[in-house]
Structure 1
Amino acid sequence: MKLALRSGLRWKVSLAIAAVGALVAVALSLVVHNAARVSMLNSARDVMDSRVQIAQRFYESSGGKLMLRAKLDDPALPKPLREAADLGQRATYLQDSGSGAPEVWASVPLRNGKILSIHNRFDDRFDILDDLDRALIIGSVSVVLGGTALGILIGGQLSRRLRKASVAARRLAEGDPDVRVRDAIGGRVRDETDDLARAVDGMAEALRSRLEAERRVTADIAHELRTPVTGLLTAAELLPPGRPTELVRDRAQAMRTLVEDVLEVARLDGFAERAEMQDIELGEFVLRRVRAFLPEARVRVLREAYVSTDPRRLERILGNLLANAAKYGKAPVEVTVEGRVVRVRDHGPGFPEELLREGPSRFRTGSEDRAGQGHGLGLTIAAGQARVLGARLTFRNADPAGPGGGGAIAVLWLPESSPTDTGTFPIIQVPD
C-alpha cells in the first residue's frame, strides 16, 4: 500500500518560492561574505606592508632603532616569510589561528642580514564583518519569509479559483444546466485557470447539446411508436381466446409500457416537469399506496409527518421502488416511514456496484443476479421524479452480517420546503 502525501497548491507554491528564496539568499550571502573578507584581508596586508616599510626607513635612518612594534629576527616569524627574506623579498603573510581575526605579518630583509617584521590583528575590521554577517542573516530570513508570504498570497488566489472551478464542475456533473465554470471563478486576472474554465464550459455545452439531441430523438421515436403500439394492443384484443393471444397481448402491453416509460424519461431529462404541490400525511399516504401496489409488503410508520409534495409523482416513485424490490429482490419487502424519510428494503442480492457508484441509468439493469428482465427505467424514473420534487433518493446495500441479513435499501428524503423549479436538491447515490 502506497502512502500519498496530499497538500494544497497554496503550500506547494509557498514552499517552492521559500526554497528558491532561501537558496538565492544563502548563495548571495556567501558571495558577499567572502568578497568582504577578501577585501578586508587585502586591505590589512596593504596596511602592514606600509607599516613595515615605515619601520624599515626609521630603523635605517635612526641607526638601528625600532618602532611600531617592529622586531628583529622574531622567533615566531612564519616560515614563508623567512624563505621570502632569504630571497631578498618583502612579503606579507596571514596566520589564521582558527579563532578570531587572522594575524597579519609583514617582513623585510635588512642590509645587515637581519629580518625586520611586524604583525597585528585587525579585530575591529572583523567585528564589522560579523555585523555584516548578522545583517545578511536577517536579510536572508526576511527574504524567505517575504517569499513565503508572497507564495501563500499567489497560491491562495490560484487555489481559490481552482476550488471554485471544481465546485462549479461538480454542480455541472450533478445536472445543474445553468452553471458556467468561467463565471464561477470570476476575477479580473486572466491566467491558465480561465483557459481551463472555458474548455470545461465548452465541453459541457457540447455534451449538453449532444444529450439534448439524443433526448429529442428518443422522445420522437417513442412518440412515433405510441400510435402503432396502441393499435397493436387494440388489435390483440380482437383475437380469439387462447394461449397465443395471451402472449401477443402480454408482449403488446409490455411494449406499450416501455414506450410510456421512455417518453417519461425524456420529459424528465428535459427539466421541463413541474410539481403540483399538496399537503399530505406521509405515513397514511404511503400505507395506502403500498397496500395497493404490494399488499404482502410490511409497512411501519415510526414517526408521522405532514409534507408538501406532489402525490402523483410520489406515488410513481413508491410504485417503481416497490416494483424493483419485488422483481429483483426477495421477500420480505419492508417499507419504513420516519418523519420525511421513506425507506424501501428487500432481502435480495442487493443493488449492483455500478448503480451504487454511478446511480440509476436507463437500459442498464445491473448484475446477473438482479438482471435478465426489464430495461433499467424504473429507478431512473424514480430518481427523475425525486429531482422534480426537490427530494433526494439514495441507494445502498444492507450489511449481510447485520440484522435481517443483506438486501437493497432505497431511501427517499423529502425536503422541508417545496422546490421552486425542477428540484432544489441533486440526486446523490451514497453507498453507506
Structure 2
Amino acid sequence: MKSRKNPAPAAKEGGDAQRSLFGEILDWMLAPLLFVWPISIAITHYFANIVAGYPYDQALRENVNAIARQIRYSDSKPVINLSGSARAVLRADEVDSVYFHVVTREGTRLAGDKELPVAPELVRPRDDTGEISFRDGEFNGQDLRIAYQFLADPNRPDDRWLVVEVGETLEKRSQLANKIIASVILPQFVIIPLAVILVWFGLSQGLKPLTKLRSRIEARRPGDLSPINTRKVPEELQPLIEAFNGMLERMERNMEAQTRFIADAAHQMRTPLTGLKTQAQLAMRENDPERLLYALRQMAGAVDRASHLVNQLLTLARAEAGSGAASQPLAPMNLDKLLREIVEDWVMRALENYIDMGYEPADGATEIEGNSFLLREMINNLIDNALRYTPVGGQVTCRVVRRRSEGGESEVVLEIEDSGIGITEEQSELVFERFYRVDDAGTEGSGLGLPIVREIAELHHAQASLRPNPKGQGSIARVVFPAYQEPRPELAEDAPLASAWNRSLPPPGSV
C-alpha cells in the first residue's frame, strides 16, 4: 500500500488563511465599486424620472393656460367657449390619455371629462397668486400627472372661483425615463469590466517592485547577511527593508557571537582533553603503583574540570537560546528562601577550604518573578566564584535585601560578598565576557561563571555587577531584581492564591 502525504492545511490553526497582497488590494478597490454601482442606478432612475417629466409638465401647463383663456364671465356666471379644434388638440396624444375639466369650489363640474378625479381639497389660501401647480392622482389603476390652476377674482365671491385641471397618464414619461436610464447604464456594462481590467493591469505593474525585490533576495548567497540596498526600492517599502536590514544585522552579530563562542569553547575544551590524554599516556608507561595512582588522580581532576566546563557551556547556551527552562514563564518565588537552601549545600565545601561562609536573613519580603532552575544556577556560579577567589581563612557572606531605587520602585538585591583577591574597576566589566579570567587569580576556572550570571539576570530583567568591596579587601557581586508586585483582584483572578502562597512560605532562618 502506498503512503499518501497529508495535504498542507489551508490555514494556520487558530488563524485565517494567508491571502495575497494583490488580491487584498483588488478586493478593497472593487468591493466599493460593486457597492456603489446599485446606488448609482437608483440615483440615475430618480433623476431620469425628474428630467423626463419636466417637458411633459410644461405641456400640461400650456394646456391649462389654453383652457383658462377660453373662460369668460357673463352676468357673473362663467362661460366656457372651448371649440372643437381645441378639444381635438387635447385628444391628439397617441400614447397617453389626456383628461381635463373645469370645476367650481364646491366641486361642481362645468365642463370636461367626468373620468378625471376631482381634487380632494379645493380650499386654497387667500393669498393664492393663481400659479399653475401639479399633483399626482390615479384613475382606473393608472397613475396620472395633473396640472391645476385656481381662477380667482377678488371682485367675485369665493363660490364663483373656478379650478382648471388637466391630467395625463405617464406612459411617455416612463418611456423617456427608461431611455435616459439605458443611455447611462448600458455604457457602464462596458466601462466597469474595462475599469477592472485596467485596475488589474495597474496593480500588476505597481507590484512589480515587490517581485524584483523578491528576486534580489532569492539571488543572494545562503550566507550573505549584508544589508539590502534601498536606493532602488519604492518609498513605501523602505521602512520594511530598513527593518529587514536591522534584523539581518542582528542575525549577523548573533552568528558572529555564536562562531566566536564555538571557537572559544573548542579552545577551552582542547586544554583539559589534551591534559587528560597526556596523563593517560603517562599512566600506561608507569610500573610504579604510586606514580600510577598519582596519574589516575590527575586524570580524575581533568575529567572533573572538563565536566564542569561542559555543564557551564550547556547552561550558557540554554540561557542564551531561551530553550529548556528558560522558555518557561516566570513565577512568583521567594529569593531569600532559595538562597538559604543553596547556601546549605555549599557549607561543607566552604568548611573544607577553611572559609567562613555566612548567611544573613532578609528583614522584609523578597518575592520576585523568576525561574527557580536558572536562579539556582546563577547563585551557584556566584558562590562558586566567591569560594574560588577567597583564600584560606577568608569570609563569604550571602544576603538578600529589599530596598527602594532612585526612582522610588521596590527592588530585591542579591549580594555575595567575599574577602578574596578583589577586583579593579577596569576588570569589573571584563569579567562578564566569556572566557575572561583575572590574570593574577591563581585559581582554576573556565571564565564562564559570570557570563552565565549576566545572561540569567537579563532573562529576569535584572542587573548583575561585580565591584570592589567598599568595606575593604575582596569584592561584592550584586544582582538587582524588580520586586514582585501582587496583581490587583480586578486584574488577576488568581490573586488570592498568590497571597496564600506567599503567606505559606516559612520564615527565613540562618545557617
Same fold (TM over 0.5): no
| TM-score (norm: length of structure 1) | 0.45
| Structure (1 or 2) with the greater strand fraction | 2
Higher RCO, 1 vs 2 (CA within 8 Å, ≥6 residues apart): 1
